[in-house]
Amino acid sequence: MEKLQLKVSGMTCGGCERSVQNALTSHKGVASAKADRSAGTVAVEFDPAVIQRAALEKAITAAGFQVGA
């Protein structure tokens, strides 16, 4: 498993955090996701043999949030 922290903008409430977490954990290969709206980040634990960073970022943007530095 690999751990990654991504910057995510657009999270304004607990529902937003859950949306980001659910968008990630619904994908095969993602073991866990913990979003923090106050820090503007999400910590993801995933299997890089199953899912790549680009797919994680795409899942977040598809949920309506922006990924970036």
pLDDT of residue 20: 97
| Lookup result for tokens 């980001």 | 20
Cα torsion through 12, 13, 15, 18, rounded to 10: 80
- The pLDDT tens digits for 1-24 are 999 999 999 999 999 999 999 999
Residue 48 near residue 25 (C-beta atoms within 8 A): no
Angle, in degrees to the nearest 10, between helices 14-25 and 53-62: 140
Structure pTM? 0.91
Residue 53 near residue 7 (C-beta atoms within 8 A): no
Specify the amino acid at residue 22. N
- Structural domains in the chain, CATH included, are 2-67 (3.30.70.100)
- The pLDDT tens digits for 25-37 are 999 999 999 999 9
Q: Residue 43: is its pLDDT beyond 80?
A: yes
How does residue 69 score in pLDDT terms, banded at 50, 70 and 90? low
